Amino acid sequence: MLSHGNGHLLNGTSPLMTSSSKPVVYKLGIYGWRKRCLFFLIFLIAIVSIINLALIVWIMRVQQFGLNGMGKLEITNKGLRMDGVAEFTEVLRANKIMSRDNSPLRINSRRNLSLSALDEHGNVVGQINIDNNQIILKNKQLHIQDRKGRTLLYADEKKVKLDLQNMEISVPGGLKLNESVQTPLVQAPENGNLKLESLSKGLHMNAPHDIVVDSYGGNLKMSSLSDIMFTSKSGKILLDTSKIELKNIPLSSIPGKLDGKVYADVSEVCVCKDGTIFLAPADSKLPCKVTAGVCPP
């Protein structure tokens, strides 16, 4: 609005004094289509505001926003608490994940599930990857412990250690070892047989002290396609039993007189009273001639 001299405003008009002292009136304001457009714009803004407010109320009602959180997700001083199923579309970073009391914790993934541990620089120092075909664990060491904290299985890049009272392998083909195995005890299962077999090469059992092979309820059988050799370098071989049978031994028959010909490569097998077995020169007149020190006194 404009005013000049002693002019004054009246009904949206502004008088302008000229040299002839006749006022010239100019009409100021919004009229016609401009006024209608302004009212329509204000009305449209009001409708949009009402719609936005209704959408906000609807979203808050659907998502169940409250003072403590959103829906079943509750924000506490210890973290977040979810009562129900939660779906994460991106990476989840957490210091601790716990289930509710007396309820299991289930983690499901449509593809693979990866659990990673990072150091202060963001590098992966441990990882568990579970997919449809395999489970991959990456770390320097692997420990499997019981409830008391005792390590049952330990593994690193150099060795695998089992600390078990009994280890049972229930497979039809048995346990196949490509390299050597070191164990204090190899025991057959109850009501079962123990079989040590080498299909292509040899079977070696070494110990710095004793090797004990016991069969408490059955027989002990050793069979070989070739020779079976028992060697004691600095001790003796003891057969402690009330009955010893040697089957399929060749029998030498002497035709004619009993004092047959004596061969240099033939010896007699003799036994002392304590069970010591020794060889003596073959002599039909003086069988089993023994020298001092062979049979204990």
Find out whether 24 and 18 touch, Cβ atoms under 8 Å.
yes
How far, in Å, CA of 267 to CA of 276, rounded? 16
- Residue with more model confidence, 110 or 66: 110
| pLDDT per position as a tens digit, 144-161 | 988 888 888 999 988 888
Find out whether 213 and 220 touch, Cβ atoms under 8 Å.
yes
Share of the chain above pLDDT 70, in %: 84
| pLDDT per position as a tens digit, 167-178 | 777 777 767 777
Give the DSSP letter string of the chain: ----TT---BTTEEEE--TTS--EEEE-S--THHHHHHHHHHHHHHHHHHHHHHHHHHHHHHHTB-SSEETTEEEETTEEEE-S----SS----S---PPTT-------SS-EEEEEE-TTS-EEEEEEE-SS-EEEESS-EEEE-TTS-EEEEE-SS-EEE--S------TT----SS----S---PPTT-------SSS------SS------SSS------SS------SSS------S-----S-------SSSS-PPPTT-EEEEE-TTS-EEEEE--SSS-S---TTTS--
Find out whether 15 and 23 touch, Cβ atoms under 8 Å.
yes
Domain ranges of the chain: 31-89, 110-164, 245-296
Is the model's pLDDT at 271 over the cut of 60?
yes
Range in 11-15, 73-77, 90-94 with the lowest mean pLDDT: 11-15
pLDDT at res. 8: 44
CA nearest neighbour of 213 among 199, 191, 230: 230
Is the model's pLDDT at 45 over the cut of 90?
yes
Question: What is the model's pTM?
Answer: 0.40
Is the model's pLDDT at 16 over the cut of 70?
no
Is the model's pLDDT at 120 over the cut of 80?
yes
Q: Amino acid letter at 148? A: K
- Which range in 62-71, 107-116, 258-267, 287-296 is most confidently predicted, on average pLDDT? 107-116
